[in-house]
Amino acid sequence: GAVVSQHPSRVICKSGTSVKIECRSLDFQATTMFWYRQFPKKSLMLMATSNEGSKATYEQGVEKDKFLINHASLTLSTLTVTSAHPEDSSFYICSARVGAGESYEQYFGPGTRLTVT
C-alpha cells in the first residue's frame, strides 16, 4: 500500500526558532497533501491543503505566515513552523491524497511530535 513518511518523528526547539517538518510519499506521487494538528486527547484539526506547484490553502484561523507550507515536488511537502512558541507544541500529521474525484484515498504519515521550550 501507499506509504507516507515524516521527518523528524520528534523535534525539540527553543522558543523563537523555526523548525521544518517534511512529509514524503514514498512509492507514489501526490499532487495534494494535507497537514493536520492534533492536540492532546483531541481530534485532528486540518490546518491546510498543500497542492504541488501552487500556494497552500489554509483553514480558517490558521496563520499562513506562521505555518509555511511548500509543496515543491510530487513527493514532498514541508511545513515550517516559524518563530515557534510553546503553544505551538503539538503532534503534526500529514497525509497524501491518491486518486481524484469522490473515490480518492488518503494515506497518513506517522506524525511529528514538536516540543517548543
Partner 1 sequence: AQSVAQPEDQVNVAEGNPLTVKCTYSVSGNPYLFWYVQYPNRGLQFLLKYITGDNLVKGSYGFEAEFNKSQTSFHLKKPSALVSDSALYFCAVRFFLGGTYKYIFGTGTRLKVLA
The CB-of-110 to partner 1 minimum distance in angstroms stands at: 4
Stretch that binds partner 1, among 13-21, 63-71, 75-83, 88-96 (CB under 8 A): 88-96
E strand or H helix that includes residue 96: strand 90-98
Nearer to partner 1, 67 or 107 (CB): 107
> Taking CB under 8 A as the rule, does residue 28 contact partner 1?
no
**Which residue of 51, 66, 74, 108 would you call a contact of partner 1, by CB under 8 A?**
108
Contacts of 68 (CB under 8 A, 6+ apart): 79, 80, 82
The upper half-sphere exposure of residue 83, i.e. CA atoms within 13 Å in the direction of its Cβ, equals: 4
Stretch that binds partner 1, among 13-21, 68-76, 80-88, 109-117 (CB under 8 A): 109-117
E strand or H helix that includes residue 25: strand 19-25
**Which residue of 11, 13, 44, 76 would you call a contact of partner 1, by CB under 8 A?**
44
> Taking CB under 8 A as the rule, does residue 6 contact partner 1?
yes
Question: Which string of DSSP letters, residue by residue, matches 36-84?
Answer: EEE-TTS-EEEEEEEETTS--EEPTT--TTTEEEEEEETTEEEEEE-S-
The CB-of-87 to partner 1 minimum distance in angstroms stands at: 20
If binding means CB under 8 A, how many residues of this protein chain bind partner 1?
23
